[in-house]
């Protein structure tokens, strides 16, 4: 079974994100970038499927500027077999990415596509669903456990208030939730080996896709600063404050 994994390059999760002074977006110049954490979980799951003899080949795909190749190298060092870089300097949005991924998927014909549930930069949580919609494939979003059963995939989903289990007919698209697995660190030998693995470069034009953004960002602002809290000495004081100051009870 061929598995295709979509990996996005985002600001490193440990970096404090700063809004540009003109409010046009967030500062990315000279900021540490990394693979989106949910995409790491997606790669890890595919690698585990390969180690279990369920997956035969893992193709990692990233869409964006030249530096996405680095993110693909990370996926290759974690265990993906080859990479595909769809090169564009456009500011991509979920629909554009979904159309690009659809074109790559039609070319590659994987049985399973794994994406992150959301990218931690735009927090869109849309791409995986859009890919499934455009392809007319089954989808299992927010997956916390996956089991391939012949031509079907059993996916445990994290939903409000609990877990839901769905049985998907393959081919299917899955998006990863936090509890699906704990991604491995790439070992030094594997980082070296990854340098020799192939990365194919494609363009939106070559795929016949126009990923021009459809949405205009009007303004990006910092969230309001949290006011400092106070400590109360007794339950009675807490109740009094909730009743008379906060007026919530």
**Contact set with ligand AMP (CB under 6 A):** 6-8, 36, 38-39, 42, 61-64, 92, 94, 97, 115-116, 118-119, 122, 124-128
Question: Do residues 197 and 79 lie in contact, with contact meaning Cβ atoms separated by under 8 Å?
Answer: no
Q: Judged by CB, which is closer to ligand AMP: 131, or 153?
A: 131
User: Rounded CA gap, 129 and 117, in Å?
Assistant: 9
Burial class (CB in 10 A: 0-12, 13-18, 19+), 116: buried
Nearest approach, Cβ of 22 to ligand AMP (angstroms)?
Answer: 23
Q: Which residue is nearest to ligand AMP (CB)?
A: 116
First CA to last CA across the chain, in angstroms? 57
45: Cα within 13 Å, side-chain hemisphere = 31
CB nearer ligand AMP, residue 50 or residue 117: 117
CB of 86 to ligand AMP, least distance (A): 7
The 3-state DSSP class for residue 94 equals helix
Size of the chain, expressed as the number of residues it contains:
249
Is residue 4 a contact partner of residue 200, using CB atoms and an 8 Å limit? Answer: no
Of 215 and 239, which has the nearer Cβ to ligand AMP?
Answer: 215
Return the number of the residue (74 or 115) whose C-beta is nearest ligand AMP.
115
What's the Cα-to-Cα distance from 244 to each of 232, 238, 241, rounded to whole Å?
Answer: 14, 10, 5
Closer residue to ligand AMP, CB minimum distance, 89 or 245: 89
């Amino acid at each position: 079974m061929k598995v295709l994994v979509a990996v996005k390059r985002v600001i490193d999760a440990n970096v404090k994100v700063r809004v540009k002074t003109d409010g046009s977006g967030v500062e990315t110049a000279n900021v540490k970038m990394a693979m989106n954490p949910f995409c790491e979980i997606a790669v890890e799951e595919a690698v585990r499927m390969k180690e279990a003899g369920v997956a035969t080949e893992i193709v990692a795909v990233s869409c964006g500027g030249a530096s996405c190749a680095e993110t693909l190298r990370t996926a290759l060092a974690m265990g993906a077999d080859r990479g595909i870089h769809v090169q564009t300097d456009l500011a991509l949005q979920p629909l554009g990415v979904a159309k690009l991924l659809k074109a790559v998927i039609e070319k590659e014909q994987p049985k399973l596509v794994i994406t992150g549930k959301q990218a931690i930069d735009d927090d869109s949580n849309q791409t995986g669903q859009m890919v499934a919609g455009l392809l007319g494939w089954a989808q299992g979003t927010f997956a916390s456990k996956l089991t391939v059963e012949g031509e079907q995939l059993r996916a445990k989903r994290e939903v409000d208030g609990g877990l839901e289990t769905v049985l998907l007919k393959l081919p299917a698209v899955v998006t990863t939730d936090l509890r699906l697995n704990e991604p491995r660190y790439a070992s030094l030998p594997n980082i070296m080996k990854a340098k020799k693995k192939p990365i194919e470069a494609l363009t939106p034009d070559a795929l016949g896709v126009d990923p021009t953004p459809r949405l205009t960002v009007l303004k990006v602002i910092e969230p309001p600063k949290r006011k400092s809290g106070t400590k109360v000495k007794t339950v009675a004081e807490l109740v009094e404050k909730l009743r008379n100051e906060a007026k919530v009870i």
